[in-house]
């Protein structure tokens, strides 16, 4: 059960003794603020109503700060952002989502422009915003109070000092840790890690080991000496049973399953159905490539062909390995996407001085994830209202420098 939020008794006492239309309007505005934590509503109400509402929220420090930020209007703007390559803005009812996509790396492509680095821009935005923001960031999850210390190839780019995801992690680390995330510095936003693909069963499963090896481009000779990985190849039996195997693995991850179960039945089924469609698309694309390469007769035993790879011609073996990698990596990335979409749509419990849902959100992930989120938002009835940059997968057209001229700033204003 949600804990009672400070200030709620003021609302109830006031509502019993309403004498004027202004009082009624003030209570209506208060109720909306107490749900959405979006002070931009002040732009549409008269000054005398604002005064009443400010008094109502005086015991809620978060709402008071959001209203103050609205009044001084000091949110950041910039012509260029260094880090992301694409941005889209989506709205549905009283919800708004900014989806940033980046091509993982460390190069700074904005050097010839006047720019802000993404971590500095977002840090200032979150502190000066007039709306409470939920921030979804592609960094690995952790257990307990401390950060997971794994140094697998999968999270290597997180540990590199100059990568943008590393800069973002360091900038918002305090607001993710359980022991510090309720500090005053983090009062106006929530930070969510989203990368759970190597948590629990997947990190120790044969499937997880295989995907991690392929993500890290482990030499074929190493794979053939690893019995666990070869067992995974054999068990997958691609393509005969890979889709249900992948989906079961994803939905069974503890953190993913936990978030799915917190959703209402309709939303949970919608997300699972959408993810299953994406899983099928990846599988169908893989099947088409396999058919073209080696013919129909081998497709149910592709795992065995890799298992006995030393008997295959080198050219064919390398192509098969490349296909397996391009197939498994995006398949397991769906774990990240299922978790993110679940958190984006859940109702939070035990919220004190925070909204119960993610009404205003920023998502910052790799472009492949961002493309999927944009697809889901459209599928879920959101309207695309603004876009900037290029989310192409072509390395020649994905600079880590985003021109912001086509997007209204300040964000969320």
In contact, 239 and 283? CB cutoff 8 Å: yes
pLDDT bracket for residue 10 (50, 70, 90): very low
Q: What DSSP string runs through 299-335?
A: GGGHHHHHHTGGGS-HHHHHHHHHHHHHHHHHHHHHH
Residue scoring higher pLDDT (393 or 72):
72
SS3 95: strand
Alpha carbons 88 and 404: distance in angstroms, whole number: 11
Distances (CA, A) of 282 to 231, 268, 353: 22, 21, 42
Is the bond leading into 410 cis (omega within 30 degrees of zero)? yes
If you average pLDDT over residues 80-109, what whole number do you get?
Answer: 91
Alpha carbons 187 and 11: distance in angstroms, whole number: 22
What is the residue whose two structure tokens read 């592609």? Answer: 138
- The burial of 339, by beta-carbon neighbours within 10 Å (0-12 exposed, 13-18 middle, 19 or more buried), is given as buried
Alpha carbons 63 and 4: distance in angstroms, whole number: 15
For the ranges 125-139, 162-176, 284-298, which has the lowest average pLDDT? 284-298
pLDDT of residue 39: 97
Domains of the chain, residue spans:
8-72, 80-195+359-403, 201-334
SS3 274: helix
pLDDT of residue 35: 95
Q: What DSSP string runs through 222-273?
A: HHHH-HHHHHHHHHHTTTTTHHHHHHHHHHHSHHHHHHHHTS-HHHHHHHHH
Task: Write down the mean pLDDT value for the chain.
Answer: 80
In contact, 334 and 279? CB cutoff 8 Å: yes
pLDDT of residue 363: 98
* Model pLDDT for residues 304-345, shown as the tens digit of each residue: 555 544 455 666 656 666 777 677 778 888 999 999 999 999
* Model pLDDT for residues 201-256, shown as the tens digit of each residue: 444 455 555 555 555 555 555 554 555 555 555 555 554 556 787 788 789 888 89
pLDDT of residue 300: 47
SS3 86: strand
Alpha carbons 34 and 15: distance in angstroms, whole number: 15
For the ranges 51-60, 91-100, 198-207, which has the lowest average pLDDT? 198-207
Is pLDDT at 1 greater than 50 in this prediction?
no
Q: In the sheet where 80-82 sits, what is the strand order?
A: 115-117, 80-82, 401-403
SS3 15: helix
pLDDT of residue 109: 76
CA neighbor of 138 nearest in space, from 372, 348, 340, 388? 340
Residue scoring higher pLDDT (351 or 33):
33
């Amino acid at each position: 059960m949600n804990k009672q939020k400070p200030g709620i008794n003021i609302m109830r006492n006031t509502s019993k003794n309403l004498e004027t239309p202004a009082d009624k309007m003030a209570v209506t505005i208060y109720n909306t603020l107490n749900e959405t934590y979006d002070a931009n509503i002040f732009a549409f109400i008269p000054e005398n109503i604002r005064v009443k509402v400010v008094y109502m929220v005086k015991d809620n420090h978060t709402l008071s700060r959001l209203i103050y930020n609205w009044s001084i209007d000091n949110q950041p703007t910039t012509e260029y952002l260094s880090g992301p390559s694409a941005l889209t803005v989506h709205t549905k009812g009283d919800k708004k989502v900014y989806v940033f996509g980046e091509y993982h790396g460390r190069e700074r492509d904005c050097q010839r422009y006047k720019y802000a680095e993404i971590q500095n821009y977002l840090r200032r935005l979150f502190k000066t915003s007039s709306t409470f923001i939920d921030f979804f960031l592609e960094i690995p999850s952790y257990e307990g109070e401390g950060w997971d210390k794994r140094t697998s190839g999968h999270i290597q780019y997180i540990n590199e000092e100059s990568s943008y995801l590393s800069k973002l992690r360091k900038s918002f680390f305090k607001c993710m840790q359980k022991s510090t995330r309720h500090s005053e510095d983090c009062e106006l936003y929530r930070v969510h890690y989203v990368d759970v693909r190597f948590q629990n069963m997947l990190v120790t499963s044969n499937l997880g080991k295989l995907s991690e090896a392929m993500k890290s481009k482990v030499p074929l000779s190493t794979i053939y000496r690893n019995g666990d990985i070869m067992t995974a190849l054999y068990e997958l039996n691609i393509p005969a049973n890979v889709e249900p195997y992948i989906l079961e693995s994803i939905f069974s991850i503890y953190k993913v399953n936990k978030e799915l179960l917190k959703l209402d039945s309709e939303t949970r089924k919608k997300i699972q159905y959408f993810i299953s469609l994406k899983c099928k698309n990846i599988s169908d694309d893989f099947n088409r490539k396999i058919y073209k390469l080696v013919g129909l007769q081998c497709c149910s035993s592709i795992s065995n062909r890799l298992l006995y790879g030393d008997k295959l011609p080198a050219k064919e073996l390398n192509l098969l390995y490349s296909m397996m990698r391009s197939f498994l990596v995006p398949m397991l990335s769906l774990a990240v996407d299922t978790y993110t979409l679940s958190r984006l749509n859940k109702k939070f419990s035990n919220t004190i001085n925070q909204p119960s849902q993610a009404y205003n959100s920023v998502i910052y992930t790799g472009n492949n994830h961002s493309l999927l989120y944009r697809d889901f938002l459209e599928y879920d009835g959101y309207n695309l209202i603004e876009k900037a940059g290029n989310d192409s997968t072509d390395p020649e057209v994905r600079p880590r420098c985003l021109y912001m001229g086509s997007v209204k700033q300040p964000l969320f204003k």
